[in-house]
Amino acid sequence: MRRFRLLTLLVVFITLIEYSTYPAHAQSPDNPGDIASALATEETVRVVVSLRTPAVGLQAQAVTLSQNEVLDALPVEDFQLIQQYEVLPGLAGQVTAQGLAMLLNQPEVEAVALDLPVQVALTESVVLIGADTVWNELGFTGAGVNVAVLDTGIDTDHPDLVDNLVAQKCFGHGTCPPDNTDESNSAEDGNGHGTHIAGIITGRGTTSPRGGAPDAGIVAVRVMGNNGTGYTSDVIAAMDWLLAHQDQFKAKAINLSLGGGAYPGVCDNADANTQLYAEAVRAANHAGITVFAASGNRGLADALMAPACISGVVAVGSTYDANLGTVTLGNCTDTNATVDQVACVSNSGSELDLLAPGVAIDSTALGGGQRQESGTSMSTAHAAAVAALMLQADPLLTPAGIETVLKETGVPITDHRNGRVTPRVDALAAVTHVAGIDPITIAGTVRLQGRSNHSGAEVFVSMDPCAEIVSGAAAAATTGPDGYFEIVALPAGQRPQCLQVLRFGYLSGQHSAPAGNLGVITLPAGDFNNDNVIDILDLTYVAVRYAGNDMSVDVTGDGLIDIFDLVIVARNYNKHGPVENWQK
């Protein structure tokens, strides 16, 4: 009987709405429709606000006055400030539809637009190895640790590298800048490879992706010319120089994304080149310097190039950090490249120690931008970056200790070319291990009532007790189609007190003092005005869109807004959130 009365009410609502007028949505004058569309499905959206440019002179003061005038006219509940720039005439914040209308009526406002999401390609590799969690949750960024990059040099003016450049040197048989000498104090890059490698290690993320250890220092030594080639003697000279100046520059790791030849097994005594390498590596290890070297890009399944084949070197091969489909690298092709698959181009052998992402990696480029490169060179830089994070967490780590931890905490990956299992670096696991942090894992599954695809639910964690409204922090995880989420490595002593789950159109869910696998929670459908109660307003929201194309109210996810969607919402009438009925 109750269901019949609710359905009768809905029919009345639909009849009334057929003769009503849809409310107009505020729009940005320079991008009509985008903000209105976003606000049709979200209570607030993130926008940037451009203010009228003040006259030249006293610009900082004029900008501040203009910003404050706009902010004073906006209620906090309609505009939550995210950024107030110091000299640029603008603001950024989270705005409601009413707040948007107020903004557009302010004489100081030039334009309002959606703060478009930005994504960088190195994000995938950084996230895969857990480096972003090391920065954000554990607070380690490589600060105080210097890494020597022996390569084609470095763009000394690149905005993502200049602040981290500790020293520079060149050894180059008539190729050293600025006067083509054999040696100089300039490592200016004329090729781009060294700049790319340095960015993977320590890029600041201004104009290119953030590196794995964004606060690590770089000692740049140019040992290859503008054509990307050089001599072993120059590499050895560079290592000799580093050892002689260890007290001054204090490099704790050396990155060698270079090499030559093909050597099965340990190659310390294979020839004069490898012998010199072996001496240099032994001296470096004795001085507390960990040496990382690229395995090579010839696709060999049983040999590495030198110096990767030297004992005491951490030899690194290449994997994918994303599902890329068919990829051709050099003279080989992977027809179904997937995350953590060993790249066909990567050399392997008994002396291979680690794997790391190395395909389609975006990083710093000559001239201040970024470019994309692939190869074991890029993988080596990822491993060196993780070592910098580990050394910040425990400065007393030895080269042998670093190699052991990287291997023991890495993710085991099988190379199907030879059946060899090699660990892929895991920054999060390695750093938590050396820092003595006992991480926890919080996992669970979120079901969206009426749907078979449960993706898009955002999971938030807070150190504060559960409240009715989630704070403005970024989501710790987002569910996939199966609804599963997993959050790891929250530091001991800072256990989260509350977990909350949000998805537009559903009541929120929460769990106090979350830890371990929380089980499964089903979010009731129908909360379209985000007030954590399903009432007559939500029923109306669905009814006005009946048979329309606003898929945000398609509760069942079948592509239609019909009586089934209305019935589900009606059944949930008067339900309140947040719900807490997690089922193991």
Is there a catalytic annotation at residue 34?
no
Q: Which amino acid is at 5?
A: R
Classify the C-alpha dihedral 492-497-503-509 as positive or negative: positive
- Residues forming beta bridges with residue 521, ordered by sequence position: 446
Which pairs with CB-CB distance under 8 Å and at least 24 residues apart come from 269-278? 270/306, 270/309, 273/232, 273/306, 274/306, 274/307, 274/309, 274/310, 276/232, 276/236, 277/232, 277/235, 277/236, 277/306, 277/307, 277/310, 277/313, 278/310, 278/311, 278/312
User: What tokens were used for 518?
Assistant: 């929380």
Read off φ and ψ for residue 151, nearest 5 degrees.
-160, -150
CB 216 within 8 A of CB 142: yes
Catalytic residue among 193, 196, 382, 511: 193
Is there a catalytic annotation at residue 115?
no
Catalytic residue among 78, 151, 234, 362: 151
CA dist 454 and 432 (Å) reads 32
Angle between helices 563-571 and 536-543 (to 10 degrees): 180
How do strand 217-222 and strand 251-256 relate by DSSP bridges?
A: unpaired
Is there a catalytic annotation at residue 511?
no
CB 35 within 8 A of CB 26: yes
CB 554 within 8 A of CB 41: no
CB 219 within 8 A of CB 187: no
Catalytic residue among 257, 374, 377, 508: 377
List, by residue number, the catalytic residues. Answer: 151, 193, 377
